[in-house]
Amino acid sequence: MVGGGEGAFIGAVHRIAARLDDCWELVAGALSSDAARAQASAEALGLARSYDDWREMASVEGAREDGIDAVAIVTPNHLHAPVAHAFMEAGIHVICDKPLAVSLAEGEALAKHARDANLVFALTHTYSGYPLARHARELVEAGEIGEVRIVQVEYAQDWLANPVERGGANRQAAWRTDPALAGPAGCLGDIGTHAYQLAAFVSALVPESLAAEMHTFVPGRRVDDHVQAMLRYANGARGMLWASQVASGAENALRLRVYGTTAGLAFDQEEPNVLWFTPQGGEAQRLTRGRVTGAAARHATRVPPGHPEGYLEAFAQLYRDAAAQIHAREAGVAAPPGSRLLTTVDDGVDGLRFIEAVLASSAAGGTWRSIARP
């Protein structure tokens, strides 16, 4: 991993994601451009090999017999291209956070490099990993909505409604609004590209022309914080896209509607367990992650119907709390307060009191029973 040291946001997300399906092990990293922070972060994560510099990491790992299979690049945008080139030169596959680069020319060079070197170059447009986003794409490809006529996509946030990049407390805001680190596209590059990608992913279409309007609402901000565009597609379809980081009240509202000649689709990443499919003139069908039977959704599904995306995290919480309590018990200290809500054998006993009372009441024709507790 390059980037993702202490205080970073997306690095930790990448690490959990990499671990979740047991396909990856994190063994090496150049976690920060600051050598001390890189070292401390690596220790905190129990990393086998820590580097102060990503160039060194690329060459050393590329040369090792047991070198890394792939590098995850989670730096600010301006480093994506140089880091990726360095690792590809070392024959290492790349998993890179979005946006790919800070200019089209940079991006094209990366694509050519990956192609020439026959390396996999994955770009983490997260939202296309949702089972129902994939199902939506599959429905479109299967002709289930007819020919696409209208694409409406939007991505609204409100965390930059005020000049939070000033003062230094918000490091995320600082680099994401600094053109030297984020590139010339602010909101456009940060979330506009997600909106664009999701629309293209699901509709299986890319626009052929556009008219766009970038705007900076917060005085003094050096990049755009709002962008809106109208789109024209080669097949005659029309579309609109807007993305904003000053849309007061919005959390992370990435929403897509695609209307075809025979049906429409709607997906909202804030409710990723649901996909709406509505035939022209007909009733809306609420497709759910667990019940759709398409291959693409199945491929990306881990838990059964009704267990929403997120169920695994709830489950993991219990494992985390149990670990905390066990460590504390072994160490003979008090369990940390955060773990106090772990359900234990005592909850189980009370649940069995309930079961026994129900069995008794029901057996007696539904009469009232008291639930005896010591």
**Rounded Cα–Cα distance for residues 157 and 172 (Å):** 14
In the chain, the amino acid numbered 265 is L
Peptide bond into 179 cis (omega under 30): no
Q: What is the DSSP letter of 2?
A: B
Which of these ranges, 33-41, 54-62, 151-159, 174-182, lies near a copy of itself under the rule CB under 8 A? 151-159
Q: Which of 6, 18, 33, 82 binds a copy of itself (CB under 8 A)?
A: 18
Q: What is the DSSP letter of 336?
A: P
Instruction: Tell me the closest approach of the beta carbon of residue 60 to a copy of itself, in angstroms.
Output: 20
**Rounded Cα–Cα distance for residues 132 and 138 (Å):** 9
Instruction: List the structure tokens of 193.
Output: 């590209």
Number of residues that bind a copy of itself (CB under 8 A): 193
Q: Is 157 in the site for a copy of itself (CB under 8 A)?
A: yes
Name which of 30 and 123 has its Cβ closer to a copy of itself: 123
Instruction: List the structure tokens of 19.
Output: 């671990």
Residue 329 neighbours by CB under 8 Å, 6+ apart = 335
Q: Which of 32, 35, 93, 38 has the alpha carbon at shortest distance from 61?
A: 93
Q: Which of residues 293-312 bind a copy of itself (CB under 8 A)?
A: 295-296, 299-300, 302-312
In the chain, the amino acid numbered 263 is A
Q: Which of 31, 140, 246, 256 binds a copy of itself (CB under 8 A)?
A: 246
Instruction: List the structure tokens of 204.
Output: 């299986």
Instruction: Tell me the closest approach of the beta carbon of residue 53 to a copy of itself, in angstroms.
Output: 24
Q: Which of 35, 63, 180, 352 binds a copy of itself (CB under 8 A)?
A: 352
Name which of 35 and 334 has its Cβ closer to a copy of itself: 334
Residues 64-103: x where in contact with a copy of itself by CB under 8 A, - otherwise, as a string:
-----xx----------------------xxxx-xxxx-x
Q: Which of 185, 205, 221, 256 binds a copy of itself (CB under 8 A)?
A: 185
Instruction: Tell me the closest approach of the beta carbon of residue 14 to a copy of itself, in angstroms.
Output: 7
CA of 136: how far to CAs of 98, 199, 239, 271, in Å? 22, 11, 17, 14
Instruction: Tell me the closest approach of the beta carbon of residue 8 to a copy of itself, in angstroms.
Output: 12
Q: Is 235 in the site for a copy of itself (CB under 8 A)?
A: no
Q: Which of 7, 34, 291, 334 binds a copy of itself (CB under 8 A)?
A: 291
- Return the SS3 of 17: helix
Name which of 7 and 282 has its Cβ closer to a copy of itself: 282
Q: Is 320 in the site for a copy of itself (CB under 8 A)?
A: yes
Name which of 167 and 337 has its Cβ closer to a copy of itself: 337
Instruction: Tell me the closest approach of the beta carbon of residue 63 to a copy of itself, in angstroms.
Output: 17
In this structure, how many other beta carbons lie within 10 angstroms of the beta carbon of residue 194? 22
**Rounded Cα–Cα distance for residues 135 and 97 (Å):** 23
Residue 18 neighbours by CB under 8 Å, 6+ apart = 24, 26, 72
* Dihedral sign, Cα of residue 293, residue 312, residue 76, residue 69: negative
Q: Is 373 in the site for a copy of itself (CB under 8 A)?
A: yes
Q: Is 39 in the site for a copy of itself (CB under 8 A)?
A: no
Q: Which residue has the tokens 């994955």?
A: 122
Q: Which of residues 117-146 bind a copy of itself (CB under 8 A)?
A: 118-131, 133-134, 137, 145-146
Q: Is 317 in the site for a copy of itself (CB under 8 A)?
A: yes
Q: Which of 36, 63, 180, 210 binds a copy of itself (CB under 8 A)?
A: 210
